[in-house]
Chain A
């Protein structure tokens, strides 16, 4: 049982490049989400999904796309990277998305956009 896995751990992009951050969970959780964390700030929700085929926007969705074709995977796509997207990205999952569910986090992806 690997929990929540994220790849890559580190990534450097040039402005304008696109890429996909991968997230997978093996706990059969319905709810998955993506956060970014910037220095001195709390985690901010980018997008979330309450089940396969269902996604919704969080607090800071601009510049990011998501899809949820399977229960296990929830990739985050950066369409055209900008320096403002330099951040640490965390993927999380929980059983149903209820606030009382325990959130399980991946180890994070540190992204630098030059």
Chain B
């Protein structure tokens, strides 16, 4: 089993819709989690950190469920510019473990 697993998609979503995707992890001792965004094989960029209490940044909400070992990302009122690959990342000590990403395509 991969340490961090994501549905590769693609998720095809109409503009303005709400979309959510999950990421599961296998190491229960994992300390920190992140969502990164990557456009067309460019460098990844941090979208948001994920806290146990859940956190929100504008249209984006991230949640962590330690009991079931998954994190989620919810995007509300999706924009064309949200089209990208979303990478789930687990952090531990000096290493980050990356999921393969979920591709999101927002259609007009």
What residues make up the interface of A, taking CB atoms closer than 8 Å to B?
31, 35, 37, 40-45, 48, 50, 56, 58-59, 88, 90, 97, 99-100, 102-103, 105-108
Contacts and interface: CB of A to CB of B under 8 A. Distances in A.
- Which of B43, B98, B100 gathers the greatest number of chain A CB atoms within 10 Å? B43
B66 interface: no
A91 to B, nearest CB: 9
Nearest to A91: B43
B8 A40 contact: yes
Interface string B86-108: 01000111111111110000000
Contacts of A99: 31-32, 91-93, 96
B94 A108 contact: no
Interface stretch (B14-22, B44-52, B53-61, B70-78): B44-52
In the complex, the 4 A-B pairs of residues with the closest C-beta atoms, listed nearest first: A99-B91, A42-B98, A105-B43, A99-B32
